[in-house]
A and B are shown apart, each in its own frame.
Chain A
Amino acid sequence: GEDVEQSLFLSVREGDSSVINCTYTDSSSTYLYWYKQEPGAGLQLLTYIFSNMDMKQDQRLTVLLNKKDKHLSLRIADTQTGDSAIYFCAKGAFSGGYNKLIFGAGTRLAVHP
């Protein structure tokens, strides 16, 4: 199967770190992605990690990949109210000449004061 699973909701206090988790069932992916969707908007690519990497850091964002457990996480340091959004995990696999993305259902992050 090609399932990507995420918890649906996460609530954190402003200034704390947020950790959003994702698991997937198919290990043939080349890249794994995190997208952000704010209300009424499309998907914004936040970051991605190549499947032969364990970690990638980009400013406040840290992506961890555990290939053995097929587990991907996104850590947002010093979470702000502007980080409130839905975060989608996706896996990509090259197939038929393009990168086929399979998305999770999304995790709604709520940041409260």
Chain B
Amino acid sequence: ETGVTQTPRHLVMGMTNKKSLKCEQHLGHNAMYWYKQSAKKPLELMFVYSLEERVENNSVPSRFSPECPNSSHLFLHLHTLQPEDSALYLCASSQAPVDTEAFFGQGTRLTVV
């Protein structure tokens, strides 16, 4: 248990569906991250929120839309995804700006059919 909880753990969705991934951290951190982990590829940083402001958006397609309503919660809204978006989506949190350690959730395994 890392203090970062992601739901759901598994999600299967059609290309026309809309769904959301949720991340909650109980560590009192003020920075939260979304990473994408595809097979045989390095983890890709998607979005970063620091002090509830988005500070990084790594050229992610607009069909992925993040939301950070407060420092403990992070969402990733999904719509009209493609099969190549199937991956493990990992959430992490840290304490900016001197955040030596980032803690990860268990991830959401997303399958787009």
Q: Which positions in A face B, CB cutoff 8 Å?
A: 4, 31, 35, 40-45, 48, 88, 92, 94, 96-106
Which residues from B are CB-within-8-Å of A44? Answer: 2, 104
Which of B6, B43, B56 has a CB less than 8 Å from the CB of A103?
A: B43
Complex formed: what's the CA distance from A96 to B54 in Å?
A: 10
Complex formed: what's the CA distance from A98 to B97 in Å?
A: 5
Which of A42, A45, A96, A98 has a CB less than 8 Å from the CB of B90?
A: A42
Q: Is B100 an interface residue (CB 8 A)?
A: yes
Contacts A98-B50, A100-B45 hold; do A45 and B103 have CB atoms under 8 A apart? yes
Which residues from A are CB-within-8-Å of B100? Answer: 31, 48, 92, 99
Contact A99 B103 (CB under 8 A): no
Q: Which positions in B face A, CB cutoff 8 Å?
A: 2, 4, 6, 31, 40-43, 45, 48, 50-51, 55-56, 90, 92, 94, 96-97, 99-107
Complex formed: what's the CA distance from A92 to B45 in Å?
A: 12
**Using a Cβ cutoff of 8 Å, how many contacts connect chains A and B?**
68
Beyond contacts A35-B104, A103-B43: 5 other A-B pairs, Cβ-Cβ < 8 A, are A42-B4, A42-B6, A45-B103, A97-B55, A101-B45
Interface of A is mostly: strand
A4 to chain B, nearest CB (A): 7
Which residues from A are CB-within-8-Å of B99? Answer: 98-99
Contacts A48-B100, A98-B99 hold; do A42 and B48 have CB atoms under 8 A apart? no
9 closest Cβ pairs, A-B complex = A43-B104, A103-B43, A42-B104, A42-B106, A98-B96, A99-B99, A98-B50, A105-B42, A98-B31
Contact B40 A96 (CB under 8 A): no
Contact B102 A88 (CB under 8 A): no
Complex formed: what's the CA distance from A48 to B46 in Å?
A: 23
Contact A99 B102 (CB under 8 A): yes
Closest to A35 in B: B104
Complex formed: what's the CA distance from A3 to B55 in Å?
A: 22
A112 to chain B, nearest CB (A): 22
Which residues from B are CB-within-8-Å of A88? Answer: 43
